[in-house]
Chain A
Amino acid sequence: MTLQPHRSKLSGWGRFPVVDGLVLKSEDLPAATEGATLSRGLGRSYGDSSLPAGTDLPVADATLADRLLGFDPASGMLRAEAGASLFELNRVFLRRGWFVPVSPGTQFVTLGGMVASDVHGKNHHVDGCFGEHVRGLKLRVADGRIIECSDTAEQELFRATIGGMGLTGHILEVEFPMRPIPSPWIWSESQRVENLDLMAAGLKEAAREWPMTVGWIDCLARGAKLGRGILMKGRWAQPDEAPKKPPPLKGRLRVPFQFPGIALCKPNMKAFNLAYYWKHIQPCRRGIVHPDAFFYPLDALDDWNLIYGRRGFTQYQCVLPHADGNGPARRFLERFVSAGGMGFLCVIKDCGAEGKGMLSFPQPGISIAMDFPIHPTKTPALVDRLNELVIAEGGRIYLTKDTFTRPEHFRAMEPRLEAFNAVRRKWDPEVRIRSAQSVRLLGDSA
């Protein structure tokens, strides 16, 4: 029997936009991708990256293709089908003393998605993006061929695929080394920080000693308190300081229904930010924490995107070069507040070197990410204003989070786009593989 596509409502994690898509879903990913114009995983990119370019263009759902195909306990090298989730990998490998070299802030992502977004994590300042660690990929390219690519075979295709948002081909298999860890627990230290200068200095200083760092900031605080927040640092605990038992599987709560829009009015957002800040009542906390609580605090709440209600939400994430101390980050936050932005969660992180992925997001500098509910007119205007500033600062945005950027803004912040397009044209002259995002930003036909 040939695989039949079915209709399904599709959206990213932000629940906007929503499209009535045609989905091919099977354990047999080579079969599912044969007639597909795009592949998607668990749909955790926020905007339109994982959505098909048109309602009749089939998209392959990779999530059932989740087998682990080979693991070498001596070197840690793992090969797996692209639909395998980080949640599964953690469940299988954490208690055995292995962890992925780079983990994003949720474990509900697939390996294929981790490559396509070239995800980064709390260890970016030392380990770079996930793509730096990928040894090989099996891809189905636009003409239907299945190709193995790596740094030694079809290097161009390999580097365009890392961070290439799934636009170079369907990722079928991923090979990368897992990393040995001394224990499955985290030793963490967190401190309350009163303003942006201290936060930036804290991140910089922590980066010298700690393999994992991140900051949360109260994005509604202004003036002298601008950029106040919590600075978190962590490392894998040594066996003698960790509990003897492996971390238990954590129960998760579920958001039972879509919240009404009023839940996200300004006073509520203020209250949340204030509570998050003052919950950290001691200036500094240290100790052993559960790896899930450290890496994936939001995963404890299933379907948390429903909190943003019917209109959905978006996340804005950009990276601003360091050249000018904390100036860029300060100007960014000031612009955000003055343009009427309000957000729940704002995450700040210092990035290390740029990766090998041709469109990979991070570059040396400071990355800022914030969530906000979508307003039909105000949100696009806010994103425009933020993008103008990012262009002026020489920064760029993260496509995985983007829903509203204009193509001219994207081109202005991406001098690397021409090289990426050239590789794409070479492998896909008719531009068969495309997404709603590539229609919006790269001018592909719908």
Chain B
Amino acid sequence: MKAVLFGASKGMGRALARLMAARGDRLFLIGRVSEDLERSARDLEIRGAPAPVMTAFCDLLNPESFAPALDRAERELDGFNAVVVTAGMFATQEEMETDPQLAARVLAADFTGTVLFCEEARRRLLATGGGTLCVFSSVAGERGRKPVILYGAAKAGLSKYLEGLDHKFRARGLRTVCVKPGFVKTGMTAGLKPPPMAGQPEAVARRVLRAIDRGRPEVYAPAAWRGVMCIIRNLPRFVMRKIEF
């Protein structure tokens, strides 16, 4: 597999990149901070990714960076057949309610930015006969929930966009994988109280990699969240108004 990884220097992206490196996939890293990307590139080379692992600048809040980053990846990898997006922004509901500018950035990064990036990526994948576009959305997008109203709204939009891509382009060879992580213990969630089914990044990454290899359009990770969200989706409104989940 020749993969472009957006957001692989941290959290679940880091864990997934390491699994891909260990099996010898060719990787290209894109992200905001070049020194951070370089350190991750060395880590992945030592873990088995064919050297050199190259990097390029790309920022979800700067759509003009998307095309040059993917062009560069295409040149360095001599074409790619997978794009994985784990980049994203997170802030708590309270933080965003009190800071509209922060809310604007999170919404722009997690919806507009991610969707526009995917547009660039899927055009290139389709042009070379298809491939895998794996994007990390969230279970937060499954239902309007009190603790994640704004973040969840952006992720809900993203999930629906990815579903649409799958419907339209699967026949032409584009395999869209929408990942819906539940609570996973990463740097992003370090300050939050973990619920009983909190997952570890590595276990999530193993599940996601299997989904990528099989071309599953949707994957919940950890798996237990599929059941949890099935219940949450079907709870009546008067219950959702009462509970704090």
Contact = CB atoms under 8 A, between A and B. Distances in A.
Note whether A and B form a binding pair. Answer: yes
B167 interface: no
Interface string B1-36: 000000001110010000000000000000000001
Given A27-B9, A92-B47, A67 B42 contact: yes
Given A27-B10, A67-B40, 10 more contacts: A1-B91, A25-B187, A28-B36, A64-B186, A67-B42, A68-B42, A68-B43, A68-B46, A69-B39, A69-B42
B236 interface: no
Interface of B: 9-11, 14, 36, 39-40, 42-43, 46-47, 91, 186-187, 190-192
B9 A68 contact: no
Given A25-B190, A26-B190, A27-B187, A67 B10 contact: no
Given A70-B42, A71-B46, A92-B46, A27 B14 contact: yes
Contact of B187 (A26, A69, A71): A26
Interface string A36-63: 0000000000000000000000000100
A262 to B, nearest CB: 28
Question: Which 9 A-B residue pairs are closest in the complex by CB-CB distance?
Answer: A6-B191, A67-B43, A25-B190, A68-B46, A71-B46, A27-B10, A68-B43, A27-B187, A26-B187
Interface string A1-37: 1001110000000000000000101111000000000
A23 B191 CA distance: 9
B223 to A, nearest CB: 18
16 contacts: A1-B91, A5-B191, A6-B190, A6-B192, A25-B187, A25-B190, A26-B187, A27-B11, A27-B14, A64-B186, A68-B43, A68-B46, A69-B42, A70-B42, A71-B46, A92-B46
Given A27-B9, A27-B14, A64 B187 contact: yes
B104 to A, nearest CB: 14
Interface of A: 1, 4-6, 23, 25-28, 61, 64, 67-71, 81, 92
Nearest to A25: B190
A53 to B, nearest CB: 22
B190 A69 contact: no
Contacts of A69: 39, 42-43
Contacts of A70: 42, 46
Contacts of B43: 67-69
A70 B9 CA distance: 16
Query: Max chain B CB contacts within 10 Å: which of A4, A26, A27, A28?
Result: A27
Contact of B47 (A25, A28, A68): A68
A68 B40 CA distance: 8
B111 to A, nearest CB: 19
B183 to A, nearest CB: 15
A69 B10 CA distance: 15
A317 B230 CA distance: 53
Nearest to B38: A69
Contacts of A26: 187, 190
Contacts of A68: 42-43, 46-47
Contact of A4 (B14, B36, B42, B191): B191
Contacts of A25: 187, 190
A56 B165 CA distance: 49
A6 B36 CA distance: 24
Contacts of B47: 68, 92
Nearest to A71: B46
A71 B47 CA distance: 10
Contacts of A67: 39-40, 42-43
B35 to A, nearest CB: 11
Contacts of B46: 68, 70-71, 92
B17 to A, nearest CB: 11
Query: Max chain B CB contacts within 10 Å: which of A26, A68, A70?
Result: A68
B99 to A, nearest CB: 10
A92 B39 CA distance: 17
Contacts of A27: 9-11, 14, 187
Contacts of A5: 191
A287 B14 CA distance: 39
Contacts of B11: 27
A67 B18 CA distance: 10
A68 B14 CA distance: 12
A337 to B, nearest CB: 43
